[in-house]
Each structure stands twice: as C-alpha cells, then as structure tokens.
C-alpha cells in the first residue's frame, strides 16, 4: 500500500507546497566609488544647482589659463620682482581662480582669498595678471551683494593689495604708482557698490509706488463707502420715513373706515407702501454693503402680473402681451426691463390720465424689446422728474437703446431694446 501524502511530515494529510518565489535578479557588480556615490544620493551626474556647476566649470577654466600664464611668464619684463615659475606660484594662481566657485554662497570670503593669493603671488614675483583680474572682478561682485560697511572694508583691502603688488620692489615714483594702483583696486568695488545702490533705490521706488497705489485705492474705496452711506442715510430719512408713515396711516384708516371701497383702496395703499419699504431696505442694504441684502431676490419679468395688479386695481385696463420664447435672462437685463415697465406704469398713473395701457415684452434671439403704450394726454409731464432719466440710464448701462415720446395727438409710448449678447 502506497504511503499517504503528508504535510510537514504528518501522514494522512494533503500535501500543500508553498509557491516558490522568482529568482532574484543578479546584481550588477559596481565599484566602491559608484556604491559610495549612490549612498550619498548623487545619482544625477550634475549638481542640482546649475549656477554652481557653471561657477565650478569657470573656476577650472580660469585655473588652467592662470597656470599657463604663470608657467609661460609672458609679463616678466614689466615686473620689478622676478621669480622663476614653480609649484608655489601655480598653487597661488589656482587658489585665486578656484575662489570663483564660491562667489555665490560666500562672495566676500571668495574675494578676500583671491585678492590675498594673487597679491602674495605678485609680491613673490610670479606672473599674476590673470589671477589679479579675477580677484578684482570677485571684489566687485562681492560689493554688489554686500552691505555698505563690508563694501568699504573690501574696497580698502582691494586697493591696498593692488598698491602693494604694484610698488613692491620699485624705487621710482612710488607714491604715484601706489595711488594709481590703489584707485585701480578700488574701482571694481565702487562700481559694484554703485550698482547695488541703484538696485536698492529702484526697489525702494517700486515699493513706494506700490504703497502709494494701495493708499490711493484705500482712499477711493473709503470715499465710495462714505458716499454710499450718505446716500443710504438720505434715502432712509427721506423715503423710508415717509413710506412708513403712509403705510401706518393707511392701515389705521382702513381699520376704522366703514366704506368697503375706501377700505379696499387703503389696504392696497398699505400693501404697496409695505412692498416699497421692503425694496427700499434691500437697496439700502446694498448701499451699506450689508450681507442680508445680497440674499434678497431681484425682480424678474415673471413677476409682471403682480406688478400690473396695482394699476388694474386703480381702474386702468392693462394688457400684457408676451411674444417669443420665454426663458431666464441675465439678472441685469431682467431687472432693467422690470424697472422700465414699473416706472412707465407709475408715470401713466401720475401724469397720463389714461384708460388703457398695453405692455409688450418680446423675447428675441439677440435682444429683448419692452414697450409700454397708453392712450393718455400725451406729451411729457409739466414737472420733469427723474423717471425718464433713470430709465434711460438703466438702459444705457446694459448698452441698450431707449425711446420715450408722444404718439399722435393722444398717447405716450416708452420703448427699450436691450441686447442679450452684451449681457452674456
């Protein structure tokens, strides 16, 4: 009899062999330097800062050129102290040029090292023309990025080094050569300091212009806010109080009068003044910049039936004709059209002595046409108020056209065309 399969050596159990893991990939042999390079995180071939890499490259190139100048010794005839090229001179030239690699993180130490190395090499009699030029350029760069106090010290040091290098070992016209060399060493520092001062003045001028602009904007906003508050106070004191008084008196008279017709008229007056008070409060809230005013809904063309009801209750035969595809329009268009109809009906009731009024609203694809025609006395009212001017201004704000005038011998017509494309 065959033996039963086993699990972990136990007889009678089913065998369950664990899946074998795939073989690990063979590691590529790497040198000790490559492993150290990867451990330090330098997998990228170049440093993260390209500017420092360019400075290091420039330092290498300048060091090579300076080494060639020291070894060739081209300006031997112009020097008062002579020394044959050797390793010490090459080392001084390399140190002076290697400071270029440190000009961004440490501009002042880099300039001091370059000046000191090139100055020592010049005094020792080596050909240090190129390293000295590099040192002067580093001094100017350090002055460009250093405060005024450090710049003064750097200028004195640079001028002194160049003066000593130029006059060491010379017996003729020492004072003149020293002054000229000192001025030559001081010149790059002065140029760098001048550029730094000009940049600082430019930044200060920009900051001052920005502050002036901010103050001007604040003054304008403050003036606008104060003017809006003044208008809100005036409207509240003049219109709000009067409307409140009218509403209260109409409500009180309606409760005590026995005449049903007069009572209905007084109730309508009370309702209209209450609605006007609500709209006035919402408008004043906008002027004051209060948060609750933003929650108040704007009047829409869908509320025209409610707008025409008071005029119908006053005895006018008001007809509303809607033409075109009715759809929601931008808020400024609907508010403008609603206010045109509202003001036109108010003028009809106050001035026209009319019996019939026709309100037309035509929805077009590119414009909205609103017209209010009546059969009243025609012609403008004797006392010219702000109603027509207000309607004309509202229509102009949405880039529309407005017309108002008599029609024939009897009647008055108000027409407004509001473009829909300009609003969108």
Task: Give the bridge partners for 356, in sequence order.
Answer: 317
The CATH number assigned to the domain with range 301-423 reads 3.30.565.10
CA distance linking residue 204 with residue 242, whole number of Å? 56
- Among 219, 340, 236, 238, CA closest to 290: 236
- Among 392, 397, 394, 398, CA closest to 414: 392
CA distance linking residue 37 with residue 177, whole number of Å? 52
Structure tokens at 35: 């492993």
Residues with Cβ within 8 Å of 141's Cβ and at least 6 positions away in sequence, in order, are: 103, 107, 111, 192
**pLDDT at res. 380:** 52
**pLDDT at res. 27:** 46
Element spanning 310, H or E: helix 304-313
Residues with Cβ within 8 Å of 150's Cβ and at least 6 positions away in sequence, in order, are: 108, 142
Outline where 145-173 has alpha helix (H).
148-167
**What stretches in the chain show pLDDT beneath 50?**
1-21, 24-29, 34, 37-38, 40-47, 291-295, 382-383
In a 3-state reduction of DSSP, which class is residue 84? coil
Structure tokens at 357: 């009024």
**pLDDT at res. 35:** 55
**pLDDT at res. 189:** 93
359-377 pLDDT tens trace: 999 999 999 999 999 887 7
CA distance linking residue 206 with residue 238, whole number of Å? 48
The answer to whether 326 and 362 are in contact (CB under 8 A) is: no
- Among 274, 282, 289, 287, CA closest to 335: 282
Domain boundaries, the chain: 50-211, 232-293, 301-423
């Amino acid at each position: 009899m065959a033996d039963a399969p086993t699990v972990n050596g136990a007889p009678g159990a089913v065998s369950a062999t664990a899946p074998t893991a795939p073989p690990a990939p063979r590691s590529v042999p790497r040198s000790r330097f490559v492993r150290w390079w990867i451990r330090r995180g330098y997998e990228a071939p170049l440093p993260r800062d390209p500017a420092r890499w360019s400075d290091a490259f420039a330092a290498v190139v300048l060091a090579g050129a300076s080494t060639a100048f020291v070894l060739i010794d081209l300006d031997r005839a112009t020097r008062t102290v002579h020394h044959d090229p050797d390793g010490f001179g090459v080392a001084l030239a390399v140190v002076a040029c290697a400071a270029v690699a440190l000009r961004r993180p440490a501009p002042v130490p880099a300039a001091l090292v370059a000046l000191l190395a090139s100055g020592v090499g010049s005094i020792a009699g080596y050909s240090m023309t190129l390293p000295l030029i590099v040192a002067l350029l580093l001094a100017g760069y350090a002055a460009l990025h250093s405060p005024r106090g450090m710049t003064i010290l750097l200028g004195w040091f640079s001028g002194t080094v160049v003066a000593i290098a130029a006059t060491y070992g010379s017996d003729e016209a020492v004072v003149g050569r020293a002054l000229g060399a000192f001025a030559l060493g001081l010149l790059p520092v002065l140029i760098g300091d001048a550029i730094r001062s000009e940049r600082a003045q430019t930044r200060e001028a920009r900051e001052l212009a920005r502050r002036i602009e901010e103050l001007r904007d604040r003054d304008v906003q403050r003036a606008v806010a104060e003017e809006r508050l003044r208008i809100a106070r005036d409207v509240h004191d003049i219109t709000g109080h009067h409307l409140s008084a009218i509403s209260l008196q109409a409500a009180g008279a309606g409760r005590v009068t026995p005449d049903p017709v007069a009572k209905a008229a007084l109730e309508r007056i009370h309702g209209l003044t209450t609605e006007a008070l609500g709209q006035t409060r919402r408008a004043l809230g906008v002027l004051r910049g209060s948060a609750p005013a933003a929650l108040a809904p704007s009047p829409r063309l869908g509320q025209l039936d409610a707008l025409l009801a008071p005029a119908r209750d006053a005895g006018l035969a008001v007809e509303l004709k809607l033409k075109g595809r009715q759809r929601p329009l931008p808020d400024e268009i609907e508010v403008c059209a609603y206010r045109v109809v509202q003001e036109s009906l108010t003028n009809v009731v106050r001035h026209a002595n009319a019996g019939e009024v026709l309100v037309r609203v035509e929805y077009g694809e590119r414009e909205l046409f609103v017209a209010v025609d009546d059969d009243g006395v025609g012609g403008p009212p004797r006392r010219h108020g702000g109603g027509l001017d207000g309607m004309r201004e509202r229509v102009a704000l949405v880039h529309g056209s407005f017309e108002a005038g008599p029609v024939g011998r009897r009647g008055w017509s108000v027409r407004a065309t509001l473009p829909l494309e300009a609003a969108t």
